[in-house]
Amino acid sequence: MTKYYVEFLNRVIKSKENDKKEKVLLDKLLLNTPVAALKASRSEIIRGTEILKEMVIGVMQIVYTNDAKKMGFIADDEAIINEMQKDLTRYIVELSRKELTESQSIMVPAMISSINNIERSGDRVIEICSLCNKKIDGNLSFTDTAIKELKELESTMIELFDNAIICLGERNYEVIEKVVELENKIDNLSETFQENHIKRLNEGTCNVDSGVLFIDIVGHLERIADHIYKISMYTKDELFGEKRKYK
């Protein structure tokens, strides 16, 4: 029966690959087959990460262009992630009441933590939207250098997202090491760019209000990267049913 459930779930998930925002089937019938229920839960975490990635891309376009029309789409995506967190948490809690193997029990808290990290990241994107509103309302702009720095940071973050999604789909230590490398790079870029902007403020080449917004945006992006990094680290052990072997 487990084999048939997994085959059925594979067909359901595959049929919806072209629409990342389509809810993955968290059928309660699958709760009686934990391996299938956990597979469905993992697919929701991947979907949430993909939606979050699109949110980051969307909000950065607003940062660059002041095109506020995109904010509605980002708000819709954040609502999807919020609903996903509630649904998936309830589903996993209900699954935890079933008779699980030790390996399956290890996966439960890691999945809850993963979806929570996605939801917190969504909140960060909404905070960047609020900063964009201040930028638009105040008719503020960033220097060409500041835009170039933000685009480099965004590009690195998208690479981080892409590698994290690979890790969630299959255990891959080589890709995990790439995630570590990218997260360290983002930390370094964030620190450097914030320092650069403070220098521009001191030199009077940047508007003070714009400078504050820039520093806040960089800070939110760096924290989103931290959340994605945490999810990726769960793929080393816990999300694949093994006790953590690292600190």
pLDDT at 18: 43
- The stretch 182-192 carries a mean pLDDT of 97
- Which residues lie closer than 8 Å to 232 by C-beta, 6 or more apart? 163, 164, 167, 168, 176, 179
Please answer whether residues 234 and 113 qualify as being in contact, where contact means their C-beta atoms are separated by less than 8 angstroms.
Answer: yes
pLDDT at 17: 42
Cα–Cα nearest to 76, from 26, 25, 129, 36:
129
Q: Give the global pTM.
A: 0.88
pLDDT at 234: 95
Q: Which band of pLDDT confidence, cut at 50, 70 and 90, is reported for residue 15?
A: very low
Q: What are the pLDDT digits (tens) for 207-221? A: 888 889 999 999 999
Residue 48, amino acid = G
What is the percent of the chain with per-residue pLDDT over 70, rounded to a whole number? Answer: 89
Please answer whether residues 138 and 223 qualify as being in contact, where contact means their C-beta atoms are separated by less than 8 angstroms.
Answer: no
Three-state secondary structure call for residue 176: helix
In our burial notation (b when 16+ CB lie closer than 10 A, e otherwise), range 138-171 reads: eebebbeebeebbeebbebbebbbbbbbbbbeee
Residues counted in the chain: 247
| Residue 201: Cβ within 10 Å count | 17
Please answer whether residues 89 and 97 qualify as being in contact, where contact means their C-beta atoms are separated by less than 8 angstroms.
Answer: no
In our burial notation (b when 16+ CB lie closer than 10 A, e otherwise), range 76-86 reads: ebbebbeebbe
Q: Which band of pLDDT confidence, cut at 50, 70 and 90, is reported for residue 137?
A: very high
